[in-house]
Amino acid sequence: MRESTKEHWRTYWKVHSDADELYSNEGRVVDSIARACPLKDSTVLEVGAGSGRDSVALVGMGARVVVLDYVEDSLTVVRREAAKSGVELLLVCGEATRMPFREGSFDVVFHQGLLEHFRDPGPLLEENRRVTAKGGVLLVDVPQKYHVYTLVKHVLIPMGKWFAGWETEYSVADLERLVRSHGFSIKFSYGDWMVPGFFYRSLRYGLRKVGVSIPKYPRGVPPFSSWAERFRRWFRTKRAAFYTFAVVGTVATKD
């Protein structure tokens, strides 16, 4: 079974160095942080850089942001994104479970697409707690357990065919319980559907491997009617909706 090693992620970010070709999280992380606390002049740490687009957006809202990743190739992508947007980020290459920062250094600590790669997430969350200021905010964003994404993933992982190597997933109740057990109080949780859907994304990535390109977002699909969009906005606030989302996140404060 292929693990999510440094070499795996070096290869991934060399192949996916064009962040514009990757799907964004449609602002859910940035919006959730902004909902939780004021951003102007706050100190923010993103753990596990990815493309860095969330961090770039947070700088644009007045935050001072540090981005940490243990793979330099990922930080190269972040550096490029920051330069395109004309913002400054402090980039640090280091381990998420042994970060080179003093205790209580950050008003906000967040990660998206990271926790699920740890078989034991305890050391990561303990280190998150250590570097978060008292009363500061932690945001954790992960794949949601009850989704077709999870079913397909658990078929492909044993075959060594899953793009991210090994990973797990969480229900919103699992995630809240885990974060709470490491000394945080839950402020709120959120979730989002995958747009475009999982199968369209899989088709697009599969075709790219054989040199065929299709649009990042499908064309010719009419937008939701106004009543359907109103229903979506209403339903997403209900607890039942969390078991239909592709991703869930929780926002908590350090006790």
CATH assignment of 6-254, given 3.40.50.150, 3.40.190.10, 3.40.50.300, 3.90.1640.10? 3.40.50.150
Distance CA 10, CA 8 (A): 6
In the chain, domain spans: 6-254
Angle between helices 53-60 and 28-36 (to 10 degrees): 40
CA distances from residue 37 to 42, 58, 121, 137, 152 in whole angstroms, order as listed: 9, 12, 25, 8, 36
DSSP letters for 117-137? G-SS-HHHHHHHHHHEEEEEE
Cβ atoms of 243 and 190 closer than 8 Å? no
Specify whether the CB–CB gap between 78 and 54 falls below 8 A.
no
Count CA within 13 A, CB hemisphere, residue 149. Answer: 25
Phi, psi at residue 141, to the nearest 5°?
-125, 125
How far apart CA 236 and CA 153 sit, in angstroms, is: 24
Could you tell me which of 255, 224, 254, 252 has the C-alpha nearest to residue 32?
252
pTM of the predicted structure, to 2 decimals = 0.84
pLDDT in single tens digits along all 255 residues of the chain: 455 667 665 666 555 555 555 556 668 999 999 999 999 999 999 999 888 899 999 999 999 999 999 989 889 989 998 999 999 999 999 999 999 999 999 999 999 999 999 999 999 999 999 999 999 999 999 999 998 878 888 787 788 777 667 789 999 999 999 999 999 999 999 998 876 666 666 667 676 777 777 776 676 544 445 665 677 777 777 888 888 898 999 999 998
Per DSSP bridges, beta strands 247-254 and 184-192 are antiparallel
